[in-house]
């Protein structure tokens, strides 16, 4: 007999299933599940195109540079609305060419059997979001190299357009626009070829070292070290520009770009070490098995007194008749006024099953790690046919993350190609 009117609703939620029901195929992560989130603007050839919120900053910076500086200086005498129209057109064309750079990566990656979730444009350029990386040095080299080639091609197209426009007596502002778009794409290609991971040049360097040594880990260590060095060098240039040249805005931009590159390089190597540690593990290996549970009709006052104050846990799975129906956390109790504890039960304050991330015991830990950030509770329930078998928290994962540091100075292993993991390929940076 149910002691609380909400318990039937809890049972209904259990029948509806969790955020990812055991035995059901999980859809690919959305853009918000990646390191960047933003606005989906459409798709091209099956690739979802997303604008990160930071992209609007760089869009208006480039628009202001075109309309307020470059065009008035090199095509004087035009009406102000004309500068605005040409500046807007030039900014859009530049990002179209940047998107073309990323699409080149995406098309080649897909031809190599790599699933590409989509493309995101953000403040420092763009990235092709992939579910895995190349499995051979040759594939890595081709995927990385095609991006700068695409930028060189766009530079040539815009340069030819400027030449033709000059010969045909085209509007001076349009010629200036084409010339600068050619220059920007050429600069983008050169910058991306710098040998620092995760730039395309760093990936080319990694592919070459991987081919020579047969060790992906050693190749990544060298390429990411070069990437950190490149980032620190760019930061140094920015500081020099501010102190010696008085170029505060430009110097600050260099510092931001350098910091981003050095941070991304370090994170990329740690990600590879993490794959080495977690690649052979499943949720069953890392979970806390047979966790203590509470019922949905347990009064909150008893939950606090008999569980949270008597046991060293910050959360308890909620089960009924052996079936998991939700999760209750210490923070949810704290959010409930103490004077309401006596009149409320666990079902009133818990997170229902539809909002809890649930995985099967054999789910690879790399997928578990990716999904740990999906729920607000930072915990994952492990269930087999709706029967709870364990729980995974950030603490459980941290214990394994600590082991990744043991791999950092261990000797490289030959043919260490563990690649099938959620990953993000970063490319197409702006200077």
Cβ neighbours, 10 Å, residue 267: 13
Considering 12, 16, 79, 102, which one is annotated as catalytic?
102
Q: Which residues pair with 294 in a beta bridge?
A: 318
Active site (annotated) includes residue 102: yes
Sequence-distant (≥ 6) Cβ neighbours of residue 280 within 8 angstroms: none
Q: Which of 53, 50, 142, 161 is nearest to 104 (CA)?
A: 142
Q: Which residues pair with 423 in a beta bridge?
A: 130
Q: Taking a C-beta distance cutoff of 8 angstroms, is the pair 302, 342 a contact? A: no
* Residues designated as active site: 102
């Amino acid at each position: 007999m149910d002691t609380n009117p909400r318990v039937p609703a809890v049972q209904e939620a259990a029948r509806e299933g969790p955020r990812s029901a055991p035995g059901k195929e999980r859809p690919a992560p959305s853009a918000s599940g990646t390191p960047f989130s933003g606005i989906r603007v459409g798709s091209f050839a099956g690739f979802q195109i997303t604008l990160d919120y930071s992209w609007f900053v760089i869009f208006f910076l480039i628009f202001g540079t075109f309309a307020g500086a470059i065009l008035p200086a090199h095509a004087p005498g035009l009406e102000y609305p004309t500068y605005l129209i040409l500046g807007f057109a030039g900014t859009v064309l530049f990002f179209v060419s940047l998107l073309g750079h990323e699409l080149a990566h995406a098309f080649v990656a897909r031809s190599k059997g790599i699933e590409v979730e989509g493309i995101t444009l953000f403040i420092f350029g763009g990235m092709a979001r992939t579910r895995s990386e190349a499995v051979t040095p040759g594939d890595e080299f081709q995927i990385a190299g095609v991006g700068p080639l695409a930028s060189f091609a766009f530079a040539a197209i815009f340069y030819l357009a400027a030449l033709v426009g000059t010969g045909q007596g085209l509007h001076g502002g349009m010629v200036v626009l084409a010339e600068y778009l050619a220059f920007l794409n050429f600069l983008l290609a050169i910058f991306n070829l710098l040998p620092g991971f995760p730039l395309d040049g760093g990936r080319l360097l990694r592919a070459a070292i991987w081919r020579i040594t047969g060790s992906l880990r050693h190749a990544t260590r060298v390429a990411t070290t070069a990437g950190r060095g490149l980032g620190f060098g760019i930061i140094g240039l920015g500081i020099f520009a501010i102190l010696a040249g008085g170029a505060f805005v430009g110097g600050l931009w260099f510092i931001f770009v350098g910091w981003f590159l050095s941070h991304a390089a370090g994170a990329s190597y740690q990600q590879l070490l993490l794959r080495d540690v977690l690649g052979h593990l499943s949720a069953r290996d890392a979970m806390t098995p047979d966790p203590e549970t509470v019922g949905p009709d347990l009064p909150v006052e008893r939950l606090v007194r008999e569980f949270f104050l008597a046991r060293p846990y910050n959360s308890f799975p909620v089960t009924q008749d052996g079936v998991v129906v939700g999760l209750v956390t210490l923070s949810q109790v704290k959010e409930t006024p103490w004077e309401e504890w006596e009149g409320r039960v666990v079902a009133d304050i818990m997170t229902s099953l539809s909002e809890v991330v649930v995985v099967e015991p054999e789910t690879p830990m790399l997928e578990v790690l990716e999904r740990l950030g999906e729920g607000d509770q930072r915990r994952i329930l492990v269930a087999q046919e709706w029967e709870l078998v364990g729980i995974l928290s950030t603490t459980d994962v941290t214990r394994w993350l600590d082991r990744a540091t043991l791999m950092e100075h261990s000797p490289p292993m030959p043919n260490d190609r563990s690649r099938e993991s959620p990953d993000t390929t970063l490319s197409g940076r702006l200077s």
